[in-house]
Amino acid sequence: MVGAMPLFRYERASIVVYDPVAQHRNATRMALYSLGFGKVSSSDTLESLNRAIKHVPPDLVLCEASGVGSELCELIQTLRLGVGGHANPFLVVIVTAWEKSHELAQMVVNSGADDLILRPYSTTILKRRIDSHIERRKGFVITHNYVGPDRRADSSRPANAELFRPPNSLKMKTMDGLTMPEANFRLQQELRRAKSEFASERLTREVFQICVLWRILQDGDDQDLEEHRVNLGRLAVAVARRCRSAELEAALPWCESVVAAVEGLHCGVDRSASMHLLGQAAVTLYRIVSPERPRSVLLQSIDTAATTLRARAAGKQQPSIAAAG
């Protein structure tokens, strides 16, 4: 029938509910059962939640933030950044909370969670929000320190900040008309593809950030120069590790050059020589990991991103969850 509501096969999806309060946890489970979900398990600690989503991940996680906001958001960020050994870093995550707090909302946004629902909520609202992530899940942004839904409302996204489409097992199982073996097979295929694309994109973003920090350090008038220098050293080590994993042997000497230049800046030896080495190494690294991007376009993008970060540091703009580049 034209205009009919889509019928989702909720019973095929698996859900983990985290809430330290048994009464609230059970109420959430009952709401999900009433919608037709059948595979609902629960966790009462963050440790048990992490175990539940790590090796045999569900399709959806509903997790309560009250009392553990920072710890929960740290867990979600670890999941999204792919540093916790989780089998599926891209599963749908909805956070719930009883208190409307700007600080908590910012933490949830910056963690990479898909959604935040304020309690108390109706079953209708819960269904509507879940359905939105089945039908219209947002594309992900990947930067050196954030992976998650693109929440920028404006259309000024730079051309190089394309969205990453994460695998959505919730949609595969409830909407796409696949058998369960077909859905599981497609998920494994898409996870392999997504992890490969993610690793490549993450490496590119981290190298770009090295370039931006070089440009900021080059000016020498930023009040956070020491912090930038430390971050630059950490990024160089992380990039070297990723280059080894990707078998980009040509990049390794330039990673070492970045580290050497940072050490030179720290020790105060010949700043001009250290900055020259740093710039040469940073730009060459980027040309290795992203050879299709013209040098002139890269340098312009570095200048733009450095200007943006300086403006934010000066308080001229509100921080964004997705850093330039």
Per-residue pLDDT tens listing for the chain (325 residues):
444 455 899 999 999 999 999 999 999 999 999 999 999 999 999 999 999 999 899 999 999 998 899 999 999 999 999 888 899 999 999 999 998 899 999 999 999 999 999 999 999 999 999 999 999 999 999 887 899 999 765 333 444 456 889 999 999 999 999 999 999 999 999 999 999 989 888 899 999 999 999 998 887 665 667 888 888 888 888 888 888 888 889 999 999 999 889 888 888 778 888 899 999 999 999 999 988 888 888 989 999 888 887 777 666 544 443 443 4
43: helix, coil or strand? strand
In sequence order, the 6+-apart residues with CB closer than 8 A to the CB of 34 are 123
* Domain presence at residue 160: yes
- Distance (Å, whole) CA 311 – CA 166: 31
- Dist. CA 282–CA 174, nearest whole Å: 46
Round to whole Å and give the CA distance between 166 and 190: 8
Identify the CA nearest to 25 among candidates 35, 47, 40, 10.
40
Prediction pTM value: 0.82
Pair 184, 212 in one domain: no
H/E element, 14: strand 14-18
In a domain, 1, yes or no: no
Q: What residues contact residue 244 under an 8 Å CB cut-off, 6+ apart?
A: 252
Query: 158 and 248 in one domain?
Result: no
Residues 238 and 139 in one domain: no
What are the two backbone dihedrals, phi and then psi, of residue 63, each rounded to the nearest 5 degrees? -130, 135
**Which CATH number characterizes residue 150's domain?**
3.40.50.2300
Cα–Cα distances in Å, from 322 out to 129, 170, 318? 23, 25, 12
- The reply to whether 274 and 303 lie within a common domain is yes
167 with 292, same domain: the answer is no
β-pairing verdict for 92-97 and 60-64: parallel
Residues 282, 190: one domain?
no
Domain span holding position 282: 201-313
Tell me the CA end-to-end span of the chain in Å, nearest whole number. 46
Q: Do 205 and 105 have their domain in common? A: no
Are 97 and 118 a contacting pair, CB within 8 Å? yes
Same domain, 140 and 105: yes
Calculate Rg over the CA atoms of the chain: 22
Could you list the beta-strand ranges (E) of 197-323: none
Residues whose CB is less than 8 angstroms from the CB of residue 193 and which lie 6 or more positions away in sequence, other chains included? none
Total tally of structural domains belonging to the chain: 2
Pair 64, 76: CB distance under 8 Å: no
Same domain (yes/no): 51, 133: yes
Is 4 a domain residue? no
